[in-house]
Every structure is written in structure tokens, then in C-alpha cells.
């Protein structure tokens, strides 16, 4: 994997809002889906990467879409994350 410029994470309560949010996020900006993950109970999240502005735009679009069909728990955009974070991803 090349150097990560930025990552974004969106966490939802339920799988349907996650899919709706992930679909909107990857369509809204030039980002790559890294993974989705079941956290516990019904909480799930997805991770995207790309340029900082693209990730911010994608997470905003994902939050809006996911909120329309369910509950968004949290979101974060991390510009220039430490390289060690990529070892936690499945991809």
C-alpha cells in the first residue's frame, strides 16, 4: 500500500445505513474503500482513503446519506495518519 494521505471513518448503528453511506461516499469523491468492520452490537464502520479534501467531502456525503435511513454514531477524518494505522486494516 502506498503512503496514505488521509483516512475517513464513518460509524453507524446498523448495516443498511453503513451501505447507504459507503455508497454515497465513494460516489461523491475520488476515494478508495479500505474496509468495513463490525464493531459490536449493531455498530459497523467503514474506512476510506484519499486526498484530504476528497475524504472530507466523501465522509460528509456518507453521513448525509446514512442519516437519511438510520443513525450515524460518529465520523472522523485524519489527515496524514501515522503509517502504523495501515497495519490494522484487512486490505
pLDDT in tens, the chain (91 residues): 455 589 999 999 999 999 999 999 999 999 999 999 998 889 999 999 999 999 999 999 999 999 999 999 999 999 988 877 777 766 5
Q: Does residue 89 belong to any structural domain of this protein?
A: no
Residues 82, 64: contact at Cβ < 8 Å? no
Q: Does residue 88 belong to any structural domain of this protein?
A: no
Q: Does residue 5 belong to any structural domain of this protein?
A: no
Q: Does residue 47 belong to any structural domain of this protein?
A: yes
Residue 69's SS3 state is helix
Number of structural domains the chain divides into: 1
Q: Does residue 4 belong to any structural domain of this protein?
A: no
Torsion of the alpha carbons at 16, 20, 22 and 23, rounded to the nearest 10: 130
What CATH number is given to the structural domain containing 64?
3.30.70.1710
| Parent domain of 57 | 12-76
pLDDT value for 4: 58
Global pTM?
0.88
Amino acid at each position: 500500500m502506498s503512503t496514505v494521505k488521509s483516512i475517513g471513518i464513518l460509524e453507524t448503528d446498523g448495516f443498511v445505513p453503513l451501505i447507504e453511506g459507503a455508497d454515497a461516499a465513494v460516489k461523491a469523491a475520488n476515494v478508495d474503500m479500505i474496509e468495513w468492520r463490525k464493531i459490536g452490537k449493531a455498530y459497523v464502520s467503514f474506512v476510506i482513503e484519499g486526498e484530504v479534501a476528497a475524504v472530507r467531502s466523501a465522509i460528509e456525503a456518507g453521513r448525509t446519506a446514512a442519516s437519511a435511513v438510520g443513525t450515524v454514531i460518529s465520523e472522523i477524518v485524519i489527515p496524514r495518519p501515522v503509517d502504523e494505522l495501515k497495519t490494522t486494516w484487512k486490505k
